[in-house]
Amino acid sequence: MPESRAEKGMATLRRLFGSSVGGTPLPPAFAQMTVEHLFGEVWQRPGLALEERSLVTCAVLVALGREAEQKIHFRGARNLGISREKLDELLLHIAHYAGWPVAVSALRVLDEVWRTMDGEAK
Amino acid sequence: MPESRAEKGMATLRRLFGSSVGGTPLPPAFAQMTVEHLFGEVWQRPGLALEERSLVTCAVLVALGREAEQKIHFRGARNLGISREKLDELLLHIAHYAGWPVAVSALRVLDEVWRTMDGEAK
Amino acid sequence: MPESRAEKGMATLRRLFGSSVGGTPLPPAFAQMTVEHLFGEVWQRPGLALEERSLVTCAVLVALGREAEQKIHFRGARNLGISREKLDELLLHIAHYAGWPVAVSALRVLDEVWRTMDGEAK
Amino acid sequence: MPESRAEKGMATLRRLFGSSVGGTPLPPAFAQMTVEHLFGEVWQRPGLALEERSLVTCAVLVALGREAEQKIHFRGARNLGISREKLDELLLHIAHYAGWPVAVSALRVLDEVWRTMDGEAK
Amino acid sequence: MPESRAEKGMATLRRLFGSSVGGTPLPPAFAQMTVEHLFGEVWQRPGLALEERSLVTCAVLVALGREAEQKIHFRGARNLGISREKLDELLLHIAHYAGWPVAVSALRVLDEVWRTMDGEAK
Amino acid sequence: MPESRAEKGMATLRRLFGSSVGGTPLPPAFAQMTVEHLFGEVWQRPGLALEERSLVTCAVLVALGREAEQKIHFRGARNLGISREKLDELLLHIAHYAGWPVAVSALRVLDEVWRTMDGEAK
């Protein structure tokens, strides 16, 4: 029996963000579009593996300096098994394509996410 | 006998861009830093595979709307064996994180690169 | 009998862009998402009138310097009856919030769109 | 008797921001240019209604991710009678033209502004 | 007898751009604001020397990737006596703060401006 | 006896940031590249004086809205003897090339840096 887009979306969100799904409470229409369209359809598509989507999303968020969203997707990356070393390397690489400042600011966010998740793991 | 940074850089550039290495002629100091530091050191580092660096570079260039550089790195991606389908999917994904317009503009560049390289392949 | 999202999307596209619907040919999945989700769902929602969506879209494209898409949406704005004077004023206003350069570049695009459409009108 | 640019600017500022006019104390020349040129001249011009200028300003600030200024102009929008529903819809629309992350971050700011102003209204 | 803002603005424009003053024809209100406010007031203020304003303007246009305006202000920089070597160095520096791609694209513009002006000098 | 790149980099960092060198702790490879390549090589190059590099770096950070890095480089500018008046003027100028919002936000950072350093000077 095929899952609905909403079910697929919630499954992707749980896979990426675990029990911390939630974050900013969105207005109903925006929340629905985020779950059904973005996580239930876009993130479910073939062509890019889930780990690739996560890495690429982190890359875009770093390059654009979107720090609040980095916090969420660095967590998602770690939950998918992407290593701290790989993310450090990602930031060093992006420093050369979007400038040192976005990379240094992202490192601060990454450090904070890692420390928080280390604390949760205990 | 260890290769110099310049040799490593030229090897990476040939691997990515083949005979079309060159593009904009840079002033000497900038050219040297690009070959030795960017392609001879950063792109050579462990932690991210060459294909991952290519995909992530394309992602950043799309998100930031850097169309001239997209032309070069989409070519690099194809030379590394990254499929058109994967790049199409990359753009669809990024449309949601950096907006439709950068993705649509990148598609135009991608189409042009693919057609040019199809022509070269004959 | 309710229209499908695809029908609604095509109607919005025709309303905005008339016979010039098309532009960049997108890969099938991206084209479908653009017609059904973006123009068939987002642009159809209540809360913002069509003219307001058009004006706001132009504003965002100007502020971000997305000139290829400005070409399309300035055309859309004119087709909805938004005057040249209003768009000139929009650019002057945005010059102060995103800088003179994006406004001046957008003026060049706006001029070109207007001249093209003046020609078509004959 | 014609008002001076400074008087017009202060009137626009009071209309938009009420008693909370002020915000960051600017150096004298910058403060004067902001009051006289930006609010006393640009915002006073015909061609765009005050509500349209407010909506368009909010759109630009969201697309560019300027959160500190969003705080001020979301307040201005509410003071002009623009509804929360309209601003929610604005963000959902812009998510598709500048990416989900700027829209989600703007929603956080919007929520905070609304809660603060609800508190003040009591 | 004090000069008007319009006279000062035209003088600054001639100083920077010589006989090529003009570029995009702006709508009247925008043209007037550009001459009187931007070049007749802002560029005339003490605190930053004209050469510093030119260098800083080039830096901002490079970092933001505003290539059409770079064409104008690189010309202005050369007319003020800023050397090609200094501008090359500027781009190399900015490559590290805003990414390689904006610097490489700006180099292309800079090359073109220099070649054009070399031709005019004959 | 020639200094190493690392020694030159540390000297530049001390010159700019004094005892507050440090900031975000970077991963080892990133820290090394920052000291040796960015501050030991790029910032050491002829063609732009140290004060010009500082001013231009501040300009880029303001235009791009990189507030965390502004905090560091406004401090560096003051340590090099660049006056508050010059930096205020820089922001007013950039307001016209990158928009009012980045300038106003940078003023907040500049105020804070100045107050902190005034306190340290006692």
Model pLDDT for residues A36-64, shown as the tens digit of each residue: 999 999 999 999 999 999 999 999 999 99
What's residue F23's pLDDT? Answer: 63
Q: Averaged over F38-48, what is the pLDDT?
A: 97
Answer yes or no: do F66 and A102 touch at CB < 8 A. yes
Q: Which residue of E has its CA nearest to B69?
A: E101
What's residue A119's pLDDT? Answer: 94
Interface C-F, measured as beta-carbon pairs within 8 A, has a size of 17
User: Per-residue confidence at A20, pLDDT binned at 50, 70, 90?
Assistant: low
What's residue B25's pLDDT? Answer: 82
Q: Fold for domain B50-122?
A: AhpD-like (1.20.1290)
Q: How far is A56 from chain B (nearest CA, A)?
A: 6
A residues 60..89 contacting F (CB < 8 A): 65, 88
- Chain F residue numbers with beta carbons less than 8 Å from the beta carbon of D65 are 65
Report ipTM for this prediction: 0.95
Q: How far is E28 from chain C (nearest CA, A)?
A: 10
Answer yes or no: do D99 and B101 touch at CB < 8 A. no
Looking at the predicted structure, is the pLDDT value of residue D21 above 90?
A: no
Query: How is chain B split into domains, by residue range?
Result: 1-45, 50-122
Three-state SS for F40? coil
Q: Output phi, psi for E26, to 5 deg.
A: -95, 155
C-beta contacts of F20-27 below 8 A and 24+ residues apart? F20/F75, F23/A104, F23/F72, F24/A104, F24/A107, F24/A108, F24/A111, F25/A111, F26/A104, F26/A107, F27/A88, F27/A92, F27/A107
Q: Which residue of E has its CA nearest to F61?
A: E97
Helix ranges (H only) for chain B are 5-17, 28-32, 50-63, 67-79, 84-98, 100-121
Q: Which residue of F has its CA nearest to B30?
A: F42
- Chain B residue numbers with beta carbons less than 8 Å from the beta carbon of D92 are none
DSSP state, residue A83: -
Over residues E39-63, the pLDDT tens digits come to: 999 999 999 999 999 999 999 999 9
Answer yes or no: do A100 and E101 touch at CB < 8 A. no
What's residue A25's pLDDT? Answer: 82
Answer yes or no: do D30 and F92 touch at CB < 8 A. yes
User: Per-residue confidence at D23, pLDDT binned at 50, 70, 90?
Assistant: low
Answer yes or no: do E29 and D37 touch at CB < 8 A. no
Answer yes or no: do D65 and A61 touch at CB < 8 A. no
Over residues F47-66, the pLDDT tens digits come to: 999 999 999 999 999 999 99
Question: How many Å is the Cα radius of gyration of chain A?
Answer: 15
Answer yes or no: do B27 and E88 touch at CB < 8 A. yes
Q: Give the span between the Cα atoms of D108 and C31, in whole angstroms.
A: 31
- pTM of the predicted model as reported, rounded to 2 decimal places: 0.96
Answer yes or no: do B88 and C30 touch at CB < 8 A. yes
What's residue F2's pLDDT? Answer: 66
Q: Averaged over B40-68, what is the pLDDT?
A: 97
Determine whether domain C49-122 maps to CATH 1.20.1290.10: yes
Answer yes or no: do B69 and E101 touch at CB < 8 A. yes
Taking the alpha carbons at both ends of chain C, their separation in whole angstroms is 39
- Chain C residue numbers with beta carbons less than 8 Å from the beta carbon of B92 are 27, 29-30, 33
Q: How far is D3 from chain A (nearest CA, A)?
A: 43
Record the tokens describing residue E109, joined without a space: 């513009």
- Chain C residue numbers with beta carbons less than 8 Å from the beta carbon of A29 are 45
- Chain A residue numbers with beta carbons less than 8 Å from the beta carbon of D105 are 66, 68-69
Q: Averaged over E85-105, what is the pLDDT?
A: 98
- E38 in reach of chain C (CB within 8 A): yes
A106, HSE (Cβ side, Cα atoms, 13 Å): 32
Q: Averaged over B21-49, what is the pLDDT?
A: 91
- Closest of A107, A106, A113, A41 to residue A77, by C-alpha: A113
User: Per-residue confidence at C23, pLDDT binned at 50, 70, 90?
Assistant: low
Q: Where are the beta strands (DSSP E) in chain A?
A: none
Q: Which residue of D has its CA nearest to A71?
A: D101
Answer yes or no: do D97 and B98 touch at CB < 8 A. no
